[in-house]
Amino acid sequence: MEAAEEKYTPRAVKKRRHWVAFRRLLGLFGVGLRLSGLYQRGVRNALDIKLKRIELEFENLPSEFDGFRILQLSDPHVDFLAGPFDTALELISGERVDLCVLTGDYRKRVSGPFEHILPAFEKLVARSRARNGIYAILGNHDSADMAEAFENLGIDVLINETRSLQRGEAQIHVTGTDDVHYYYTDAARVALETAPEGFKIALIHSAELADVAAGAGFSLYLAGHTHGGQVCLPGGIPIITHMSCHRRYASGLWRHGSMTGYTTTGIGVSGLPVRFNTRGEVVLITLRCC
């Protein structure tokens, strides 16, 4: 699938040809930004990431997991713009969390070598203070070969599989899928539909499987991919989301049926090293019983 230059989405297989036109448009936009003097401001915006803390309440969360803390890091694209990933590491230093989750898009390009980005993740593993370790899923910029390389660093890569976490007698379940924006297969749907009963968290690079996860009884869906639009209209309204469906879930908190979702604006950027009207972030989620 990586070699095919096609997009395998939950709804159709499409050619990725639009990327040529998209890159030309990006180039023109970059020239426009430089001519208008806004380029450096956009770069400064992209470097200015924050730690966002949110608390989410669930009726079906086992009381043993009340206060469970999940750190979500997404879309670092570490080899594109130097700075945001190191800032993210500083922002999370000293934070004791239960689980760290990485929700995809680790490099700049969508193909080619990736070994040069591994030292950044080695640094993350060394600094992580997550009691239950680090789970990762792949995004549409990632190669399937990265899974083994990440696992060698001590990161547990979930490709259409589920891990269960225990506190006393209680369990919660975390299901991670392969990327569903370029590399969707029915294995992603099956992984969600066959996850154990109980409190379930889905880690999926984009929010494009919200309907499937909600139908399968997931309580929480964590996604990234969009960079919150990266270049938005005033008020944070995204112009481009790179989503084939569920575009209203492109940023922030959302609900689909009885499931809560959160789409992070992510750490890094792609295309151009700028942000406007959206801020990059690391997310610290505390689960609460209600």
Shortest Cβ 40–Fe ion spacing (Å): 25
3-state helix, strand, coil in the chain (%, to 5): 30, 30, 45
Nearer to Fe ion, 217 or 228 (CB): 228
Shortest Cβ 105–Fe ion spacing (Å): 4
Burial class (CB in 10 A: 0-12, 13-18, 19+), 40: exposed
Long-range contacts of 141-145 (CB under 8 A, 24+ apart): 141/77, 141/104, 141/105, 141/106, 141/107, 141/108, 141/109, 141/110, 141/270, 142/104, 142/105, 142/106, 142/107, 142/114, 142/179, 143/2, 143/111, 143/114, 144/2, 144/178, 145/114
Shortest Cβ 261–Fe ion spacing (Å): 16
Nearer to Fe ion, 38 or 159 (CB): 159
Nearer to Fe ion, 139 or 217 (CB): 139
Question: Residues interacting with Fe ion, by CB under 5 A?
Answer: 105, 139-140, 225
Shortest Cβ 227–Fe ion spacing (Å): 8
User: Could you tell me which of 176, 5, 200, 199 has the C-alpha nearest to residue 102?
Assistant: 176
Nearer to Fe ion, 153 or 240 (CB): 240
Nearer to Fe ion, 109 or 131 (CB): 109
Shortest Cβ 162–Fe ion spacing (Å): 22
